[in-house]
A and B are shown apart, each in its own frame.
Chain A
Amino acid sequence: MTLNAFLFQVLNGLSAASGLFLIAAGLSLIFGVTRIVNLAHGSLYMLGTYIAYSFATKIGGVTGFWGGIIATALIVGLIGALIEIVLLRRIYRAPELFQLLATFALVLVINDAALWLWGPADLLGPRAPGFRGAIEILGRRLPSYDLFLIVIGPLVLLALHLTLARTRFGRLIRAATQDREMVGALGVNQAVLFTSVFALGALLAGLGGALQIAREPANLATDLIALGDAFVVVVVGGMGSIPGAYLAAVIIAEVKALCVGIGVVDFGFITINFSKFTLVAEFLVMAIVLIARPYGLLGKAQGAVRSIAEPEEPLRPATPMLKLLGATVLVLLVCLPLLAQSTYFGSPYLLVLGIDVLIAIIFAASLHFIMGPGGMHSFGHAAYFGLGAYGAALLVKWLGLPFGAALVAAPLLALCGALLFGWFAVRLSGVYLAMLTLAFAQIVWAAVFQWEGFTGGSNGVIGVWPPPPFDKTWVYFLLTLALAAIAVLALRRFLFAPFGYAMRAGRDSPLRAEAIGIDVKRVHWLGFAIAGLVCGIAGGLFAFAKGSISPETIHINRSIDGLVMVLLGGVQTLTGPIVGASVFAVLQDTVMRQTEYWRALMGAIILVLVLAFPQGIVGAFAALWRKVGGRT
């Protein structure tokens, strides 16, 4: 690449950075004040692209384009306000992260709504009136609209920065970030503050989307891509730092632009296609930044945040009733193969579904182990599932390892991965930890995806079936059931053992825990490793149950599914992940076969569950139980 070409790519990167910055700034604001990890932020951005497209094409001209951009930003801001008022406001007191469930449901609903309104095809907007031309720079033609974008980023940055640092609104935002209840007791209407912050964040996302239509087509996949980018930018820049977000946006956009610019390079011994690299480049950058600077580039260690969530009840050993219930369920499950054969409601499919549910339970229970009692919100649990699944499949494929050995090796490989990644992850906390785990998962995924010769690339590994007698569904079902029961009971046992106490102690008060001799990082690291190990069992079982494994099955969706299962069941309870995983896996299976708009339906069901059970399903029943029991 020549120097000119290089500089040209730099300019390209700068214009992309503006869009990234706009959505990241909104995400950061919303998270800062409301503590909501807004998964729907990418969806708001996507709505921005579609709405602006409609304005620009239906009305057209200068009004349609430029007026449309402003109108779009306002409309998306309004949608944000509505979401906050109608939905989120009702669940602020739910346990930490629970709101993530609601925003996940919104992602599903908004995506299908866009499909219904605008159809599945990509829609490219018109060129921007007034910026149709291009400018000759460095011997190449740079669209003048790109120059406009390069300027708009820093302008918004300046405006936001001044607002936060210099105005009362900004101070209120920063105060509410730390202790919203106290802000209320000082006479500030938090409800209005929250709604306006959410609306502002949404408006920025909408604006970011609207500005893109002259460059890139509106597309149904942009929601998750934009979300991923925004997360990375926010975390790399440092939570709560708007200048940091801009800096990070520039870095990420530049790295991506350069990867595209460099293209294929032959190093002699290996040929690397750098443009494929864009998929992971940003996650690599994030991992490196977080390892070197745990609070992002310009972030600071944050003061303690006072949560208004319902605090967690102490763990109590299982009551005789719960034990009885557990035993009954187990017996029923053991009898399930008989039921599946009965002519009446029998269907072999019942067992296949049963296996799926059991695998989901192992997956969710292992995630809950670190997420609940450990307080480590892993957003990348799919990595250990993937290491287990791919590990087992590849050992069978390349080394011809027998089934049993592969099934044992799967968790061990996952353990190795968890030990490695966990060592870095436990040095962080909160969202930073979440994002670093996500980055690791993306890196695992990308490695699997791109290392075609070894892993089969996007086709995955096929033909890994278990030998007799495990090729019979009912036998495999019983095997899965046995392993699931062992895994769940063992994890439970660990939590009631000294190790579990130490893990919770480190979560509740690291200060106090260190002051009584507990090495909090080490304890959490081992907890992370145990969770990885158990998750690897689920991965191994999955590979043999399906006879194959592909990159899709270990993509970010699986990590998010895990979070949804745990939260749906109730993160503060031990049976929560089991119930959550069962409900979610069954729902997913049945809903997907109902309608073309299954996402929307699924989203709607989750929304109903979220509003009905704001502490998760089991959490809600436990609270009810305490209330009834305590009052009488």
Chain B
Amino acid sequence: MSASDSSVLELRGLTKSFGGVHAVRDVSLKIGKGEFLAMIGPNGAGKSTCFNMINGQLAPDSGQILCEGKNIAGLAPRDIWRLGVGRTFQVAATFGSMTVIENVQTALISHARETYRLWRPAASRHRARALDLLRQVNMQGAADRPSRELAYGDVKRVELAIALANDPKLLLMDEPTAGMGAGERHGLIELVKRLVVERGISVLFTEHSMDVVFAFADRIVVLARGRLIADGDATAIRDNEQVREVYFGTGKTFARAPA
């Protein structure tokens, strides 16, 4: 794939430190249209920090973030969202006092730029579309439950539905399947992968669940101590000695010994 001309997102020399902690150092990479890219790396490698810079929560110390050629570094999260970048958080964040479907409706309302409407009830707005999104993440049954009551894994799926509300071009998912069972894990990533293919969404995600990464990612980049140390497909990364050393270990906790 020639990511260079059709890249949705490009990071150039992205750097961020907190006091003396160099969380991200000089990271450059490109994500092509419709690409399903996994970012992996040890705990504290700087993955979430990268995400936070891309979606505008943190401003980089230096470097550029190009979204379809436009530098978005330093913009506010809400503006970046309007440019078509959705995200889920590592620690899932939903609106606890609302029902599941209201959570999704709020996002749809914002997408339709109806946030400041004062009169017609919100409950009737975009309900069908919201239900449809919930169906896609298999949460339609819980539509009218308060979102704070959901088990953790379910909250993650609601978050995904929220993130899909603005038909994103690029979806950032920070450990989307953490806290899910193996079956659901695959189910969710399969779903996302389908979106990638059908709608041409590009996805950048982090995961510590290697079964999922190896089974689905088109390409994998590895971050360690803030630096990009490897970039390649599943086979290349699996065989990379350095990655094995800092990240995989023997592999017995994520895959059965090859039968």
Contact = CB atoms under 8 A, between A and B. Distances in A.
Nearest to A500: B122
A505 B118 contact: no
A558 B140 CA distance: 47
Contact of B166 (A311, A313, A508, A516): A516
Contacts of B107: 516-517
A493 B118 contact: yes
Interface string A313-357: 111010000000000000000000000000000000000000000
B109 A501 contact: yes
B87 A505 contact: no
Contacts of A499: 115-118
B71 interface: no
Contacts of A502: 106, 109-110, 115-116
8 contacts: A314-B102, A493-B118, A496-B121, A505-B95, A507-B97, A512-B89, A512-B94, A515-B81
B118 A511 contact: no
B78 A498 contact: no
A496 B146 CA distance: 16
Interface in B77-116: 77-78, 81-82, 86-87, 89, 93-99, 102, 105-107, 109-111, 114-116
A317 B123 contact: yes
B95 A512 contact: yes
B192 interface: no
Contacts of B78: 514-519
Contacts of A314: 97-99, 102, 146
Interface string B29-45: 00000000000000000
Contacts of B77: 514-515
A523 interface: yes
B202 interface: no
A508 B165 CA distance: 19
Contacts of B55: 515
Interface residues of B, number: 40
A228 to B, nearest CB: 33
What 5 A-B pairs have minimum CB-CB distances, sorted nearest first? A508-B95, A512-B93, A312-B97, A517-B110, A516-B107
Nearest to A509: B93
Interface of B: 55, 57, 76-78, 81-82, 86-87, 89, 93-99, 102, 105-107, 109-111, 114-123, 125, 146, 148, 162, 165-166
Contact of A517 (B81, B96, B125): B81
A361 interface: no
A315 B115 CA distance: 18
Given A314-B99, A498-B118, A505-B106, 11 more contacts: A311-B96, A493-B119, A498-B125, A502-B106, A504-B97, A512-B162, A514-B77, A515-B55, A516-B162, A518-B110, A518-B115
Contact of B114 (A498, A508, A513): A498
Nearest to B145: A314
Contacts of B165: 516
A501 B162 CA distance: 14
A500 B120 CA distance: 11
B186 to A, nearest CB: 26
A533 to B, nearest CB: 12
Interface residues of A, number: 31
A454 interface: no
A513 B55 CA distance: 13
Contacts of A507: 97
A497 interface: yes
Contacts of A511: 57, 89, 93
Contact of B116 (A496, A498, A505): A498
Interface in A386-402: none
Contacts of A523: 115-116
Contacts of B114: 498
Nearest to A530: B118
B175 to A, nearest CB: 16
Contacts of A513: 95
Interface in A473-521: 493-494, 496-502, 504-505, 507-509, 511-519
A121 B115 CA distance: 58
A526 interface: yes
Given A311-B96, A518-B115, A498 B82 contact: no
A508 B119 contact: no
B87 A311 contact: no
B109 to A, nearest CB: 5
B122 A497 contact: yes
Contacts of A519: 78, 115
A496 B123 contact: yes
Interface string A454-466: 0000000000000
Nearest to A515: B77
B146 A509 contact: no
Contact of A516 (B98, B110, B116, B122): B110
Contacts of B125: 498
Contact of A501 (B86, B89, B106, B166): B106
A526 B55 CA distance: 26
Which of B78, B125, B146, B165 has most A Cβ within 10 Å?
Answer: B78
